[in-house]
Amino acid sequence: MRLLIVNSFYPSPLVPRIIGGAEVFARQLAEFFVSEGDEVEIIRVATTPNQVPETCNGVSIYSAPVRTPHPAFARPRRAPGRFLWHILDDWGKAAALISERIRAFRPDVLHSNNLSGLTTDVWQAARTHGIPIVHTLHDYYLTCPRCSRFSKGSACVDTCTSCNLLTINRKRLAQNVNAVVGVSQRILDIHTHLGLFSHTPIKTVIRNASQALDIANAPERKLTPPVFGFIGRLTEEKGIDLLVKAIASLPSHSVSLVIAGKTNDSEMQRLKALAPDADIKFLGFVAPSEFYRQVDVVVIPSLWEEPGALAAAEAMAVNKPVLGTPFGGLPEVIQDGVTGWIAKPDLNSFSEVIAGIVRSPQIIATITQTLQARVERRTFADVAVHYRDVYRRAMTTEQRN
């Protein structure tokens, strides 16, 4: 099979940039299929002028220039400039490279993921050449220019007027998709309830799973005091402030917090100021295994409709309990009191759940043992098998058209 994967970012030796789980997923999927003997090409956004093609682990990588008056993802600070960026991202034509690679590579399937900077016109290019399209929903780009459906400190229930206006074209072009995949049932439901993919013949959910993470040499933890951990983007919708404030509400000697993710000195100082007496350790951007071997409980304090946190899949793969909120796909993967905890996203409720764990740390060991005893363990290979089935079904629907 020849597979063309399109995603805004794709980490490689020349451009190692990683922002979220979508690019990690794209790399894992591409390299898995190459290992199975398939041919895979990647198209991502060019982050510098004249970015050259490269090959990494058998995957051919091409970078498409962004047609904006400023560098890719260097969005202007002023509102008029941001508005223009969003307009161009909704109505702009796909880079000529897209059609060039479709003609030269002749893929059996185009698999799109995050499309910010590339635009949904990639679907039109694939449709013009008769290539079936599979799209995975990792975020809310199709209904929200900021991709988050999060505003003024809370998740958006309705789509505001500006978001409706700035996503008209991408929603229209969604009719070209042969198969749509949600990384959770929740993200798929949000899109279909808003009228997207009404004519798409294949709608399914394939939840994230982790590749093997080596933490076998991690020392056995004493759980006193328990170490809570956060890994990911330190942004408002991810709930990092909620977590730090909850930790601050507990006696400083009773709990520790480890934070992994790209940050800077000013952000670290801001978070430390929220909990000046707390034991907080900042790891910066590190390999996931380095983070997981240092923590007892993984916390995902999301305030937005978390699409399908990769951190939850990774944590359970290494038998770490997860504390999450009732947003997005988190309740679909966390069994409250069995594999982790679900806490309401207000400070009192979140603090109470953490305090209960601190008072009875043995519950961490009990849940860890439950995770260790699981007979069925879903791996990334299972994810890839499901995607191959979706590709074949999408190819069948295209042949019927």
Contacts 24+ apart (CB under 8 A), 35-39: 36/384, 38/1, 38/2, 38/3, 39/1, 39/2, 39/3, 39/105
**What band does 218 get if pLDDT is binned at 50, 70 and 90?**
low
Q: Tell me the pairing of strands 59-64 and 340-342.
A: unpaired
pLDDT of residue 18: 84
* Cα–Cα distance, 385 to 369 (Å, whole number): 28
**What band does 90 get if pLDDT is binned at 50, 70 and 90?**
confident
Q: Share the mean pLDDT of the chain.
A: 92
- Between 73 and 362, the higher pLDDT residue: 362
Is the distance from CB of 302 to CB of 325 less than 8 angstroms?
yes
The answer to whether domain 2-209+380-400 and domain 227-372 are alike in fold is: yes
Task: Name the CATH architecture for the domain at 227-372.
Answer: 3-Layer(aba) Sandwich (3.40)
| Residue 19 pLDDT greater than 90, yes or no | no
305-325 pLDDT per residue, tens: 999 988 999 999 999 999 999
Domain boundaries defined on the chain: 2-209+380-400, 227-372
- For 47, phi then psi, to 5°, come to -95, -10
| Residue 89 pLDDT greater than 90, yes or no | no
State the DSSP H helix or E strand holding residue 155, giving kind and residue range, or none if neither. Answer: strand 154-155
| Residue 39 pLDDT greater than 90, yes or no | yes
Superfamily of segment(s) 2-209+380-400: Glycogen Phosphorylase B; (3.40.50.2000)
Would the pTM of this model clear 0.85, i.e. be above it? yes
| Residue 82 pLDDT greater than 80, yes or no | no
Q: What is the mean pLDDT of residues 260-278?
A: 95
**What band does 2 get if pLDDT is binned at 50, 70 and 90?**
very high
| Residue 214 pLDDT greater than 70, yes or no | no
* Cα–Cα distance, 279 to 387 (Å, whole number): 43
Q: What is the mean pLDDT of residues 318-345?
A: 96
State the DSSP H helix or E strand holding residue 45, giving kind and residue range, or none if neither. Answer: strand 39-45
* Cα–Cα distance, 245 to 251 (Å, whole number): 12
**What band does 77 get if pLDDT is binned at 50, 70 and 90?**
low
pLDDT of residue 363: 96
pLDDT of residue 205: 98
Q: What is the mean pLDDT of residues 35-62?
A: 95
